[in-house]
Amino acid sequence: MIIIMLGAPGTGKGTVGNLLAQKLEIPHISSGEIFRSYINEAGQIGEQVKSYVLEGKLVPDELTIKLLEKRLQEPDTQKGFILDGYPRTLVQAESLDALLKGQNRSVKVAVNLSLSDDEIVDRITKRRTCPNAECREIYNLEFRKPQVENVCDKCGTQLIIREDDKEETIRKRLENYHNISEKLIDFYQNKDILYTVKLNNESNMVSSDIAKEIEEYLKK
């Protein structure tokens, strides 16, 4: 089973994708993790990826597609996988379809987690992150507070607000996301495999509830 997670930053697609991956016993593959793994490797590809990431630029389609193709050749993807953060562009979506077609496979569903920009800003600005490289635990002042104010439960490190969790940065990221996402959403809608989950900050739904809803949808 192949699932794509769509959604703006702050919608929780990574958390939901991880939960689904555990339930379905298939790998959760995020573009960020792929990039980081190659940055840590020596070689020309690693240096190319690193130069884009350090400058805060999107890794070009051609390079991103090449890295994903390498990842999907690994044995753990044979029964399926969940993609998070890929595809980001229409070119990537079309190349993914072509790659899967060559393997006699296809995307089962593209899950779109939908939340208003104002609610996303409210959610992310309340996020606090542990800067300890061996921990990186994430909290939220609304629905996942640390036991001791501003201190990581796991390692005791003082929590921080990341630069990309500040409102001005979030608004820019959302603007970039919307410029790209509409074409992707239309692409999967036209293929009749788009499933949208409408979220709001007032709801009592948590990530596990959302994952369960998607799991039930997949059984239909």
Q: So what's the pLDDT on residue 107?
A: 97
From the list 13, 71, 123, 128, the catalytic residue is 13
- Band (pLDDT 50/70/90 cuts) for residue 36 is confident
Q: Give mean pLDDT, residues 160-186.
A: 89
88 has catalytic annotation: yes
Catalytic entry in 66, 108, 144, 173: 173
Active site residue 166: no
Catalytic residue check, 66:
no
- Cβ atoms within 10 A of the Cβ of 174, count? 19
Domain coordinates of the chain in residue numbers? 2-115+170-209
Give CATH superfamily name and number for 2-115+170-209.
P-loop containing nucleotide triphosphate hydrolases (3.40.50.300)
Question: 154, 162, 166, 198: which one is catalytic?
Answer: 162
Mark whether 50 is an active-site residue: no
**Residue 186: band (very low, low, confident or very high) from pLDDT cuts 50, 70, 90:** very high
Q: Is 128 an annotated catalytic residue?
A: no
Q: What is the pTM of this model?
A: 0.82
Q: Distance between CA 220 and CA 216 in Å, rounded? A: 7
